[in-house]
Amino acid sequence: MFIVQNYGAAVFFCIITMLCWGSWANTQKLASKTWRFELFYWDYVIGIVLFSVISAFTLGSTGDKGRGFLDDLHQADAYNIGSALAGGVIFNAANILFSAAIAIAGMAVAFPVAIGLALVLGVLVNFYASQKGSPVYLFTGVALVAVAIVINAIAYRRSSTGGQKPSPKGIVISLIAGVLMSFFYRFIAASMDLDNFESPAAGKMTPYTAVFIFSVGIFLSNFIFNTILMRKPLQGTPTNYAAYFKGRFGTHMVGVLGGIIWGIGNSLNLIAAGKAGTAISYGLGQGATLVAALWGVFIWKEFKYAPKGTDGYFTAMFLFFIAGLGLVIYAGL
């Protein structure tokens, strides 16, 4: 299977993760013009599962290092399979709330609040479990990211005085999603042998197998979480599966593309975790907040009605994010 050989490559993979995790929601924005997000979300989940299968049978099954996907899946023990499945369930609960927050509050708000909070808490959780990298630089970087989150919240509050009237519900849902999102990665990481991808311990899984099991957890739990949300939506009227199957092929493909984009980022991030460590790898990936905020502010114009002076807050937010992420990278050198 393909294995990252050095820290520089691991950081590069994490940067790709950041771009993928910060950009997939654009597909939701595109689909939302004619498509409920609950229906979009089914296609998104299918895209995640689809990419995990493709990745497992390509990068996860070629080369002379590590265990191939099918051999690895066959030897994995129940505890580690259960851990990766649990990671999928937790992620799905968080992400479906996060998707609802995007639909209600927009990318420029949902990403900094939910994913920013997930970054702070997630780095703490993952560093506690696997202490790799300089804690001084790592936590200083996380602190700068936290400042950026506060600045974004101030900008959000200012925008409520303009033509745009955002609902506080969007922030509350984002906060809940962020707390849940901070824990999913730890469960996937626990199912892998992070110290030796080439010859993983018996019962442990390679990143490719763990991602596949994780994706299955997302898919199975979606029958519960998304069905509930379709019947009792956080916003709008109830919908049903009949409406889903009436969707146009192109509309479905937009959601599948969103899932594939997120799945690429997730796979590369976990592949990189062996060299970078879970705290650094996760923290860099969740720098997606910066990418998504750029999309939300400059492409989707989500703050176009905000009063004068709001641009200064965004500039400060981006600077703190960039400085924080730079320190997170330096922590692993």
Alpha carbon distance 283, 279 (integer Å): 6
**How large is the greatest C-alpha to C-alpha distance in the chain, in angstroms?**
60
pLDDT digits (tens, 9 = 90+) for 218-252: 999 999 999 999 999 887 899 999 999 999 999 99
Average pLDDT of the segment spanning 274-299: 85
pLDDT-based confidence at residue 20 (cuts at 50, 70, 90): very high
Distance CA 150, CA 116 (A): 10
Task: Give CA–CA dist 274/206, Å, rounded.
Answer: 10
pLDDT of 289 > 80? The answer is no
Copy the structure tokens of residue 162: 């303009």
- pLDDT tens-digit map of 114-168: 877 888 899 999 999 888 889 999 999 989 988 887 787 777 667 655 545 556 8
Q: How many Å apart are CA 324 and CA 283, to the nearest integer?
A: 10
| Predicted structure pTM score | 0.89
Instruction: Identify the pLDDT of residue 148.
Output: 84
Are the C-beta atoms of 123 and 279 separated by less than 8 Å?
Answer: yes
Question: If you search the block for the tokens 């895209």, which residue do you land on?
Answer: 47
* Sign for the pseudo-dihedral over CA of 189, 39, 18, 180: negative
Whether residue 235 contacts residue 167, with contact meaning beta carbons closer than 8 Å, is answered with no
Amino acid 154: pLDDT: 78
Decide: helix, strand or coil at residue 192. strand
Q: Residue 49: its pLDDT value, please?
A: 98
Burial 152-163 (b: 16+ CB within 10 A, else e): bbebbebbeeee
Q: Taking residues 93-105, what's their average pLDDT? A: 86
Q: What is the mean pLDDT of residues 12-33?
A: 91
Q: Is the pLDDT of residue 79 over 80?
A: yes
Q: What is the mean pLDDT of residues 12-26?
A: 93
d(CA 215, CA 87): 9
